[in-house]
Amino acid sequence: MRIGYFGDGVWAQRALARLIDDARYTIVFVAVRASSPDSTLLALAEARGIPVLRPKAINAPESLAKIAEFAAELHVSMSYDQILREPILALPPRGTLNCHAGALPFYRGRNPLTWALINGETEFGITVHWVDLGIDTGDIVRQIKVPISATDTYATLLKTAETLCAVTLVEAISDVSERTDKRIVQSSIDPVGLYCCRRREGDEEIDWTSSSAALERFVRALVPPGPGARTIWKDKSYALLTAELIPGARSYVGVPGEVIGRDSAGILVKTGDNLIRITRWALVGTGGALGTALIPDAARGSRLGRNLKAELAKAEAKLAVLEAKLGPDRGD
């Protein structure tokens, strides 16, 4: 079976390495990201004499014409950064497969592993599905579920997914090749499902009014290679790397974000319901780089996070000064 391969990252590397060694398949091209091509994918392709494509606009007419020349029977996508539109999807007679690290129809969209941790899921899914005109909405070919433990982090789930995504994708391609593949309509699992948005700059900032349980999950969900769950102390940004729930901690009303104690393991911080222990953090440097992981040393009585009331008051004061300078005849 002739396969056109669109990919990026470790999971794409591992799947391609297995596919090119399988006599049932001929990889007719490998398409990589234009801006930051995967060097390992490039090396795998070049070692086997497989043509490499680096289109800036995958759906442009010139890209479409080039891809059509390869006459692939099946297209496969793994972490490719461009959406394949209808003209490209119509090219391969067997269709286009995609692997997604989410339990479709749930956790469609971006950052599914992070969102699964934030939401306190006890498992995450790896799904291979046919690509249609929606976002992760095509019929399911193969799906597995993987447990999430109370100590799992974004880093540990990512490591697991890097292996299992490749394995599951290769198994699904085998199903298609042998014509034993099944089609599970996603609406037969759940009529609505859910969609996860792409996380943006600022989403990593901690809301100390959240519950301790939610904050502990949030810290685990954003550890490197994520950006780290961040807070402000002494006008500097810190990424929280590890946090602990305190068994038996009583709920009470206080000031969320205030450091209420210290011990040898870290600092105790008031949350929206009780308190949490922060055991490691790192200073956020220029460009978002994290410094050395340290035991937090904020003193008791310190307050972490932004003082939104104070910032609003400063902004209002600056606005009042500007309005005074403009005077009553400012043309509004």
What pLDDT is attached to residue 308? Answer: 60
Cβ contact 127:140 at 8 Å: yes
**pLDDT band for position 313 (cuts 50, 70, 90):** low
What pLDDT is attached to residue 332? Answer: 52
**pLDDT band for position 326 (cuts 50, 70, 90):** confident
The pairing of beta strand 275-283 with beta strand 266-270:
antiparallel
Facing residues of 272 across strands? none
Distance CA 259, CA 250 (A): 16
Distance CA 294, CA 36 (A): 33
Distance CA 243, CA 216 (A): 6
Distance CA 117, CA 180 (A): 34
pLDDT higher at 275 or 320: 275
Q: For residues 33-50, give the mean pLDDT.
A: 94
Q: Look at the block and give the residue holding tokens 């050395």.
A: 292
Model pTM?
0.89
167, pLDDT greater than 60: yes
331, pLDDT greater than 70: no
Cβ contact 278:243 at 8 Å: yes
Cα 226 to Cα 192, 218, 230, 252, distances in angstroms: 29, 11, 11, 32
What pLDDT is attached to residue 325? Answer: 80
What pLDDT is attached to residue 84? Answer: 95
**Per-chain mean pLDDT for the chain:** 94
Total residues found in the chain within this entry: 332
